[in-house]
Structures are given as structure tokens and as C-alpha cells.
Structure 1
Amino acid sequence: MQCSHSTDRPDLGQLPDDAVGLAALLRAWRARVGRRMGLGKPLPQVEVAAGIGMSERWYRDLERGAMPRLDARTLAALAVALRLCPDERATLFLYAAGGEPFPAVSAGSVDLTPLRRLLRLQPTQPAYLTDNAWNVLAHNEVMAEWFPWVRIPGANLVRWGLTDPEAREQMADWPRHGRAYLAMLRYAMAQYPGHPELAGILRAALADPECRRIWDDGPVIIANRDGHTFRLSIPRFAPHTVDVVAQVLHPVGYPGLRLTFLNPMTTSDD
């Protein structure tokens, strides 16, 4: 299992050249600013360059894939010029820095016993542990009762959510979930450039027409889904549905790992 930061760029298979990377995002963000301003076209490169105090040629080269040294002032000005949200701004800084400064740990390099024990202490709510590519490393019994697929060796949350027909049956308003998973993939690929499993998940997702349509619809970016509320149709609850809120924790001593708890909502939670 590849969980650590890798500097080797993987073979992206059938992905088009402009599907991933900072240059593609900059072009999409500039086009979005133009739409929001009612220009009917992308904001001109010369205006973006002027907003950050650089030459038009410098910015044009940046959109073509050049990666000059970018200081914090320039990055902050670029984020303002392109009207980036916090997660998009973080993505910009990640690309400029060459990825996450703290490499993710691998499941085989750390003792996961304390985290597994924490999962077992949750007797009533589904809880699970994933690595930086969303491979399921551990889960409690309730999680397996709700989602039996987590017992399968190699279970991966995002791959299941994007490519398994069961996910589309169990997640109400699946397109919203699909968009969120693809948005998290964009962010993760900026965190861990060249990560082969992330590229493989994206390649598999984009082979699906619906996922490809969502991906091509625009570069939505989400760092995490902490606090996200959604509705599930789980066979054990049929014919009823259950509303849950996801709480995502990042253990400081385990970079790249995520502890997620699905908390069923009740009327008193509203």
C-alpha cells in the first residue's frame, strides 16, 4: 500500500494533459472571475498580472505550466485577484510549495493500535480510519454493519463513493456527493503530487460518464467534509433513511491519516 509522499509523477492514463495541475486551475479560476464580473469571457491575463504586480508575460508563462519561485506576497495577491475561497487559496499555496510539507505516514510505518482502540470505544456510531488516499485502515463494528464493503481487503472510501453503484443507491442526492469526492481529490493531488493511488482513483472515476461530466463542469475544491450533513439509505434501516453528520479528525502524530465519525442526527440535534 502506497501511503507516503512520492515525488515520481504517475502515468495518468487517459487523463487529458490539462485535467490536473496548477496551470489548469489558474485558467479555470480566471474564466470563473470573468463570468462573475459579467465579462462574457475570462478575465484578461494582463489584468490578473497587474493585480499582483507582475508582467503579463510572467503570468502567461505561469498558466502555461512554468513554476517560478512564488513568495507569500505574490501568492496572496494572486488569490485575491482570482477571488479564491480558503480551500482554493490553500491549494494554490500547496502547489507553490510542491505539496504538503509534512509527508504522510504509511500504515506500516506507525503503530495504529491507539487509533484502532479509539474506534472500538465508539459502540453506537460508525467510525473509521483512512490514509491520505482514503484507503480504509481500520473501522469499528458499527461501520461494518452499515457498510459491509469496508471488510473487503483494499477498501477505499472515495473509490467506492465515485465508482460503486451501491454508493449511488445509498447516498441521497449522489451527484452532490460525487462532486464533493472529486473536489477532495483535487485538493489531495495538490497535497501529494505524484501520488499513484490518487491518480488511479481519478482515472477510474473519469472513466464513468457522470463523474466525468461533474469533473469537467468546473474545478471545485474541498479540503475536507468535516461537519457535512447528509442522508443515507442503508439496507438495515429500510424502508427508512438516516441523517448523519460527519466529524473528521486529523491526529497530529499521524500526518495524512483521518479519523471519521458518522453521528446519526436526532430531532434534538436540530
Structure 2
Amino acid sequence: MAGHSDLGRFLRRCRAALAPEDVGIAPATHGRRVRGLRREEVALLAGVSVDYYTRLEQGRHTSPSAAVVEALARVFQLDAAASAHLADLARPVRRGNQETPAQRVRPAMHQLIASMTEHPALVLGRRTDVLASNALARALLTDWTLLPPRQRNYIRWIFLDPAARDAFLDWPTVAAEVVGTLRLYAGRNPDDPQLSRLVGELTIRSPEFRTWWNGHYVHERTYGTKRMRHPEVGPITLRYEALAMPGDPDQTLFIYTTDPGSPSHDNLRLLGSLVARSGSTPGTTSATRTPRG
């Protein structure tokens, strides 16, 4: 999946994203023939030769030292997530392409999120696989338990279920960010065959995914806000916290809350009462149908 070619593509994307004035270089008085920085400028700022940096972009040198990676991250003004991604891409490519064992959520975690009757909660694993969710999360988003195991995946739902586009008022932002999250995973796990299949399917079936994936942007979801519209209760603005679980590698607990006293808080409570009354997940955005394919 990821590999030496991805290192070169990521470097080119970073170079194109910066203007000369962003790094203290006076703008040229005549037109530049390349967008962003020139290779010579990056090499000078990073303290490496132009030939060495060119070989990095072209995939002819594949294992830069930690010092070079750190220098390039500084030149490109990368945040912590993008710097870590650059370091992942610069590591020697692992071989094997072995299937990873299925992830399991501990029973105590299932009990914990099930007890959260006022807050939607779900656990995402590798490749944004949905490993667990409580009733309120399934009512708010979709009931993944009704889908075949292969389709219980958050990013797949985002791109292949039309109802997801209706659910998020800022769908392009939400979708682009989750692609960036998957890019981070790909950098850490370049030989994951299940990831290769997922990316292949989404690349073929979603032009938006293909564009964002090829852009090589990365995004680490730690906390944020999502604006949604639920067919049963109306608009809901949610804050989320993403909590890594040290005892369970590659599992993240997402908990959603609303501002007390807000219309969103009232609407989420109404949705919770509908769930409690029905004993299931009424009015989910796509609980009664399977995403395309």
C-alpha cells in the first residue's frame, strides 16, 4: 500500500503547498515555472544536496535518516500528525502482506458504551472498522450490526451510503478528514492487504475519495465538532472526543456530546427517548438498507 513511492508523492505535495515567502525566500520578480518551492530551495533549507533530495522525491533513495526527516518536517512546517506520517513513510518497507487477525472489543468496554444512554459512543479499529457502538450512536449514524461484517467500516459508510451525505451538513469536510486519518494508518501499516482492498474499492467507486486520497493529506482526529441533521429529530451539533485505548492497540473510543441547554441537546435527548421507547434504533440514517455494494 504505502511505500517509497508514497514518500516521494508526500514530499512533492508538501513542497507544492508552500510559497517562497512562507519560508523567508523573497518572491521572484518574474514568473516561477513550478508551483510552490523548488527542489533546490528545499534542499538548501534542509541542509542536504539537491541530488539527494531529488532522489528522495523520485524514490531512488528510500531511507533518509531521522535527522533528514526532522529537517524536512521543519522546512515544510508540518504539524505533529504530518511529521509522524513523514517518519512512517521514511521507514524501510516491511514485507509480508499478512492478514491481520480480527480485532475484538473487551466485554467491559461493550458494557461501558452500552451504559452511555445520553451520549452516542463507538469504537473504531484498524482502517476505521466499526468494532462496537451503542444504541444512540446507531440511531444517530447507522446500524452497523445490520450490515455484513466486511461493510462495518466508517469510511466505507461515509463514501458509499448516500444517507451519510444527508446526515452531515459538512459532508465534504468530514469525508476529507477521515481520508486523512486513513492515510495516517496507511503510513504505519503499508503492507495491510485489507487496507489495500478497501482503498481499491473506494478509489474505483468514489471520485471524491480518489481525489482526496491522491492528495496525500493527513489528519489526526482527536476532538472536534460535527453538524448533523437527523430525519426524526432535526439538526444536532455534536462535540466529539477521540480517546486512544492503551491496552487495545489500534482501537479508539469516540464519545459525542452536546452543549447543555442547547437545541442540539434537546434533540439528542429526544432521539435517546425514541431509542428507549422502541428498544432499537428508530430513524437511523440508513439502518433499514445496506450501502451500495
Q: TM-score range by the shorter chain?
A: 0.7 to 0.9
Amino acid at match of 1:55: S
Distance between the aligned counterparts of 1:56 and 1:70, measured in 2? Answer: 14
The DSSP-based 3-state class of the residue aligned with 2:131 is strand
Aligned runs of 1:246-257 on 2, under 5 Å?
246-257=240-251
2:42 corresponds in structure 1 to 48
Residue by residue over 1:139-170, the C-alpha shift from the partner in whole angstroms, topping out at 9 and shown as x without a partner, is 11222222333212321111111221111010
Structure 1 residue aligned with 2:220: 223
Q: Distance in 1 between matches of 2:239 and 2:73?
A: 31
1:28 corresponding residue in structure 2: 13
Pairing of 1:75-90 with structure 2 (within 5 A): 75-90=69-84
The runs of 4+ residues in structure 1 deviating greater than 6 Å are none
Once the two structures are overlaid, the 10-residue window that deviates more, 77-86 or 253-262, is 77-86
Change in CA separation of 1:126 and 1:190 when aligned onto 2, cut-off 3 Å = same
TM-score (normalised: structure 1): 0.80
Residue by residue, what CA displacement relative to the aligned partner does 1:52-85 show, whole Å, maximum 9, x if unpaired?
Answer: 2222111111101134443332211111122222
In 2, Cα distance between equivalents of 1:129 and 1:106: 17
Which ranges of structure 1 fall in alignment gaps of 5 or more residues?
1-8, 11-16
Letter in 1 for 2:14: W
The question of whether the paired residues in 2 share the 8 Å contact of 1:244 and 1:262 is answered with yes
How far does residue 180 in structure 1 lie from its aligned partner after superposition? 0.8
Letter in 2 for 1:247: E
Matched-pair contact (CA < 8 Å) for 2:124–2:131: yes
User: 2:171 maps to which residue?
Assistant: 174
User: 1:36: how far off?
Assistant: 6.2
Tell me, what secondary structure is at the counterpart of 1:119?
helix
Secondary structure of 1:179's partner? helix
2:236 partner letter: V
* Greater C-alpha radius of gyration: 2
Structure 1 equivalent of residue 112 of structure 2: 118
Q: For 1:76 and 1:180, locate their aligned partners in 2 and report how far apart those are by CA, in whole Å.
A: 24
Q: Which of 128, 138, 160 is 1:134 aligned to? A: 128
- The amino acid that maps onto 1:56 is V
1:74 aligns with 2:68: yes
CA distance in 1, matches of 2:72, 2:134: 44
CA distance in 2, matches of 1:183, 1:111: 24
C-alpha separation between the residues in 1 aligned to 2:108 and 2:92?
A: 31
Contact 2:128 2:182 in 1 (8 A): no
Task: Give the direction of change, closer, same or farther, for the CA distance of 1:91–1:36 in structure 2 (3 Å limit).
Answer: farther
* Number of residue equivalences: 246
1:161 paired with 2:146, answer no
Residue 229 of structure 2: aligned partner: 233
RMSD across aligned C-alpha pairs, in angstroms?
A: 2.8
Instruction: Tell me which of 196, 208, 211 is aligned to 1:210.
Output: 208
Task: Using structure 2 for the length normalisation, give the TM-score.
Answer: 0.74
Aligned equivalent of 2:187: 190
Rounded to whole Å, the distance in 2 between the matches of 1:98 and 1:248 is 30
- Please say which of residues 252-261 and 40-49 is displaced more in the overlay: 40-49
Offset at 1:267?
A: 4.3
Cross-structure match for 1:3: none
Q: Distance in 1 between matches of 2:208 and 2:63?
A: 38
- Counterpart position of 1:14: none
- Report if the CA contact (8 A) 2:121-2:133 is conserved: yes
Structure 2 residues not aligned, in runs of 5+: 95-99, 266-293
The CA deviation string for residues 32-61 of structure 1, in whole angstroms up to 9 with x for no partner, is 124765664231212212222222111111
Counterpart secondary structure, 2:84: helix
Amino acid at match of 2:68: T
